[in-house]
Amino acid sequence: MRVSQLFNVTLREAPAEAEVASHQLLVRAGFIRQLAAGIFSYLPLGRRTLTKIENIMREEMNAIGGQEMTMPVVHPADIWKETQRWYQIGTEMGRFKDKNNRDMVLAMTHEEVVADIVRKDIRSYRQLPRLIYHIQTKWRDDPRPRAGLIRVREFTMKDSYSLDADWEGLDKQYRAHYQAYFNIFHRCGIPVIAVKSDVGMMGGKMAHEYMYLTPIGEDTLVICDNCGYSANRQIAFFKKTPPPPEEPLPAEKVYTPEAKTIEALANYLQIPKQKTAKAVFMVATLPDDGGYKDTFIFAIVRGDMELNETKLANILKAKELRSATEEEIIATGAVPGYASPVGLKDVLVVVDDLIQQSPNLVAGANEEGYHLKNVNYGRDYSANIVADITAAQDGDACIRCGAPLRTARGVEVGNIFKLGTRYSDAMGCTFLDKDGVEKPIIMGSYGIGSGRLMACIAEEHHDDQGLIWPITVAPYEVEIVSLGGHQSEKVQTVADRLYQEFLDRGIEVLYDDRDESPGVKFMDADLIGIPIRLTVSERTVQQDAVEFKRRDQSEKRLVQLSEVYATVKHEIELLHQEIRSKVIEVPFEG
RNA sequence: CGGGGCGUGGCUCAGCCCGGCUAGAGCACACGGUUCGGGACCGUGAGGUCGGCGGUUCAAAUCCGCCCGCCCCGACCA
């Protein structure tokens, strides 16, 4: 492609709204343009990279037996009602009515469509196992799109669905994806870790998220460098050390003015935070014979710990969980800042499992300005539920080996779920097994957002000057920059001939044939980030040569014209080898 | 949904507080000329309902109200 013909404009300055590097550079280099919040177009360069990413996904999916298909973006709401997700999912779902006033849904994911096809077409164990996938648009009306392509509302996802006759089959396909996903990310040039995760709206039995570690990430991960345990903080387990046992002391009311926070309370009483109990008020939307009902939740964790809302929501099986408002708190009879589990009625009390083992805590007295000392679980109050509802923090002990845990930020670039029979049951996907018994099909679902992946690659591979694409996903393999081609016929001829030779020999080449100054061309080349750059100028043609430079290295060297093709071919292969060396087997962490 | 910020040619921004000239600059764009190995220079030119609506005023980019959009933090989220 000649740059003079390319549909592309590079920007000297990044738009003011772009903050993270990948966003700024992808916009400046002309890979993407924003249409609205979380809605982007991919221009030709961006499209080429996306296509390469998608082809890598295709190859890896096909390698584990995947079969590509395409499912619709617009669905009748009926199938989403069958699985209840029409009711369970809130504003994130795109809904509209067609001309016949029929409820319609914009695809957020495709379990329902898969299940609908499967229940009609799969009859026998002989048709299992299967693995199907497609690369298709999703719409999720995220309340807060951010960071360019990192979090958007409309995006393209490679999603695959495994169909099995039994759980062993699911496990096998799950593990196949586990490795295939590592292969995809490694081939795209980004390091990732797989962490155990919450199953979220997908439901199901087991899930892993693939995390690209970066400070701009929005998920917090908990990692054990000693034994390799890693999990999303939303569900991370950790070892809680109970305090030394103490004889329960008689409860005692103490005056604690202006001590409305744990911090202030601990300071005022000169006690460590772990000797206090923290009350957190939430409102959960819980299933209630067929419908849903808002229930006030009084959650108690030790003062030195934080409530983990995901854990709490999962334990309660809550559809939604939010912080209670001040009015709601007062309505239950609790006094904000001095709330106490002692003597409360008509609320659901959930207590962290460490509280039981922590004697003589300071808790609120439900009276402005007073706390109770020596509050003991069991004696002074009890809970409806005792469970692990606290969040792991930096330095907490690893659940497996006891070593201190570390937290890190990451972007979720992919996920895999063992769905089990959640969708099969809801939509009646059954097959007749060998033994003549009708059984539900066991499903798994697996997704990678291709645009987000592209942004992560850009995040990982760039410098001050611009993007530095790994050879596997670069829009072009080589860029020819001609300097003074409009003045020197010799330069023009050599550059044109080189371009044509590469085209003929199947090398993907971008040719900057514009009548621009050298500075502009070099700047644009660096911005766009094609892995190999060849410069043709008066200076080089005099020596029958071109200048060779890799985007990821600063050295330049002259290559004789007669050897250019062989050199480029060789260097492309070297670049591929570098990537290939990173594609490794990763032990399954179940 | 809560908190904060921003909306002025394609991009980056000035002007707004303290209302008043034809609304500016740099980059980008078009034409002419000079340049030509790291975002060159000179000249000429095109391009803006100052996010929208309403209000105050003799007069609004500027003051007031409502709305919309975009970004950031939080809540939420595959």
Q: In residues, how long is chain A?
A: 590
A52, A476 Cβ separation under 8 angstroms = no
User: Which pLDDT does position A334 carry in this prediction?
Assistant: 67
CA of A102 to C1' of B54 (A): 38
Which nt sits closest to A148, CA to C1'? Answer: B71
Instruction: Provide the β-strand partners of residue A414.
Output: A210, A448
Q: For A332 and B17, how far is CA from C1' in angstroms?
A: 48
CA of A19 to C1' of B62 (A): 29
d(CA A9, CA A28): 8
Whether A224 and A401 have beta carbons less than 8 Å apart is answered as yes
Q: Do the strands A385-387 and A348-352 form a parallel or antiparallel pair, or are they unpaired?
A: parallel
CA of A392 vs C1' of B40, distance in Å? Answer: 58
CA of A144, C1' of B59: distance in angstroms: 42
CA of A16, C1' of B18: distance in angstroms? 29
| Every domain range in chain A assigned CATH 3.30.930.10 | 21-236+407-459
3-state helix, strand, coil in chain A (%, to 5): 30, 30, 40
Q: Measuring from the CA of residue A547 to each C1', which nucleotide is nearest?
A: B37
Q: What is the CA radius of gyration of chain A?
A: 29
CA of A23: nearest nucleotide by C1' is B71
C-beta of residue A572 within 8 angstroms of C-beta of residue A472: no
Task: Please tell me the distance from the alpha carbon of residue A402 to that of residue A395, in angstroms, as a whole number.
Answer: 10
Amino acid at residue number A26: L
Whole-number Å distance between alpha carbons of A294 and A545: 75
Residue nearest to nucleotide B76 (CA to C1'): A143
Mind listing the pLDDT tens digit for each residue in A120-176? Answer: 999 999 999 999 999 999 999 887 888 888 899 999 999 999 999 999 999 999 999
Q: How far is the CA of A148 from the C1' of B31 (A)?
A: 38
**From the CB of residue A161, how many other CB atoms can be counted at a distance below 10 Å?**
28
**Which residues lie closer than 8 Å to A331 by C-beta, 6 or more apart?**
none
Distance from C-alpha of A511 to C-alpha of A433, rounded to nearest angstrom? 59
Of A403, A467, A459, the closest CA to residue A218 belongs to A459
Tokens matching residue A31: 């890979």
pLDDT at res. A290:
64
Q: Which nucleotide is nearest to A17 (CA to C1')?
A: B71
Nucleotides on strand B lying under 7 Å from protein C-beta: 1-2, 6, 11-13, 26-28, 35-40, 69-78
CA-CA distance, A66 to A131, in Å (whole number)?
5
| Distance between start and end Cα atoms, chain A | 47
CATH 3.90.960.10 residue window(s) in chain A: 252-391
> What parts of chain A have a pLDDT lower than 50?
202
Q: Where in chain A is the domain with CATH 3.40.50.800?
A: 476-580
Chain centre to alpha carbon of residue A332: 38
Say which residues have a Cβ less than 8 Å from residue A487's Cβ, sequence separation at least 6: none
Distance in angstroms: CA A565, C1' B18: 68
Record the tokens describing residue A195, joined without a space. 């962490």
Q: In the CATH hierarchy, which fold is given to the domain comprising A21-236+407-459?
A: BirA Bifunctional Protein; domain 2 (3.30.930)
CA distance A478 to A510: 6
Cα A519 off chain centre by: 38
In sequence order, what DSSP letters do the residues of A84-110 get, joined into one string? THHHH--TTS-EEE-TT--EEEE-S--
DSSP letter for each residue of A263-301:
HHHHHHHT--GGGBEEEEEEEEEEEETTEEEEEEEEEEE
What is the per-residue pLDDT across A266-310, written as a single tens digit (0 to 9) for each? 777 777 777 777 777 777 777 776 666 777 777 878 777 778 777
Q: Which nucleotide is nearest to A36 (CA to C1')?
A: B70
Mean pLDDT of chain A: 86
CA closest to C1' of B27 belongs to A12
Residue at A172: amino acid letter:
K
The C1' atom of B11 and the CA atom of A480 lie apart, in whole Å, by: 27
Give the integer Cα–Cα distance in Å for A106 and A84: 16
A212 DSSP β-pair partners: A411
Amino acid A312 CA to nucleotide B61 C1' distance, rounded Å: 51
Q: How far is CA A503 from CA A204, A534, A572, in A?
A: 50, 15, 15
Q: Write the burial class of residue A277 (CB in 10 Å: 0-12 exposed, 13-18 middle, 19+ buried).
A: buried
The C-alpha atoms of residue A29 and residue A463 are separated, in whole angstroms, by 13
* A529: region left, alpha or beta (phi > 0 left; psi from -120 to 50 alpha): left
Q: How many Å does it take to go from CA A142 to C1' B74?
A: 15
Note the ipTM here: 0.89
- Give the CA count within 13 Å in the CB-facing half-sphere of A55: 10
Instruction: Tell me the C-alpha distance between A580 and A551, whole Å.
Output: 19
Q: Which residues contact A455 (CB under 8 A, 6 or more apart)?
A: A22, A23, A26, A147, A148, A149, A150
Query: Any idea which nucleotide's C1' is nearest the CA of A157?
Result: B78
Pick the CATH number of A252-391 from 3.40.80.10, 3.90.960.10, 3.90.1300.10, 1.20.120.790: 3.90.960.10
A296 CA vs B74 C1’ separation (Å): 22
pLDDT of residue A280: 79
**Nearest nt by C1' to A466 Cα:** B39
What CATH number matches the domain at A476-580, 3.40.50.2030, 3.30.200.20, 3.40.50.1110, 3.40.50.800?
3.40.50.800
Q: Which nucleotide is nearest to A39 (CA to C1')?
A: B70
DSSP, collapsed to helix, strand or coil, labels residue A545 as: strand
Could you tell me the two tokens for A217?
């990430």
A18: which nucleotide lies closest, measuring CA to C1'? B71
The closest nt to A15, taking CA to C1', is B11
CA A279 to chain centre: 31
